[in-house]
Amino acid sequence: GPSIMELKKPLIAAIEGYAVAGADIRVCSRSAVFGVFCRQVGVPLIDGGTVRLPRIIGLGRSLDMTLTGRPVTAEEALHWGLVTKVVDDGEALNAASELAKQIIKHPYECMLADRRSMLNSLSATEKDAYAFELNSLPVLPDAIQAITT
């Protein structure tokens, strides 16, 4: 739900089987299935899905998933940009762990500032988004440390 926006670390989902929630980065197995299955029992989306999903895959695809309640395959999810990588069954956790290892090599405060800026830009005007990004400059000590070590 909306609390994903408040996390102090990026959230990487390793998806094997069915998935109905989100993360910053999503890696799935070939047999993974995505969907808005609450539609089938008459339950509306109340976890921010109607807000986040269109921003990730576009309005048309979001309406397709949400209104039909149909399952979306891993390959279709990759094509849509819902996942960043499809791996063999049983390998999603390993692939997500490898991504995490890449992420933690970089200065934490800088990564967090960029993540916050991207999330903020979704609801800000372009001018305000640029201003928010510039306010991230206090993380420069991270950059200086990375350059000098």
Q: Which domains does the chain have, with CATH numbers?
A: 2-104 (3.90.226.10), 108-148 (1.10.287)
Q: Which two tokens stand for residue 17?
A: 């089987």
Residues 121, 46: Cα–Cα separation, whole Å: 22
Q: What is the pLDDT of residues 116-145, one digit of tens each?
A: 888 888 888 899 988 988 887 766 666 666
* DSSP-assigned beta bridge partners for residue 15: 28
More confident residue, 47 or 107: 107
Query: pLDDT at position 101, please?
Result: 96
Average pLDDT over residues 111-115: 86
pTM of the model: 0.79
SS3 88: coil
Q: What is the pLDDT of residues 70-98, one digit of tens each?
A: 999 999 999 999 999 999 999 999 999 99
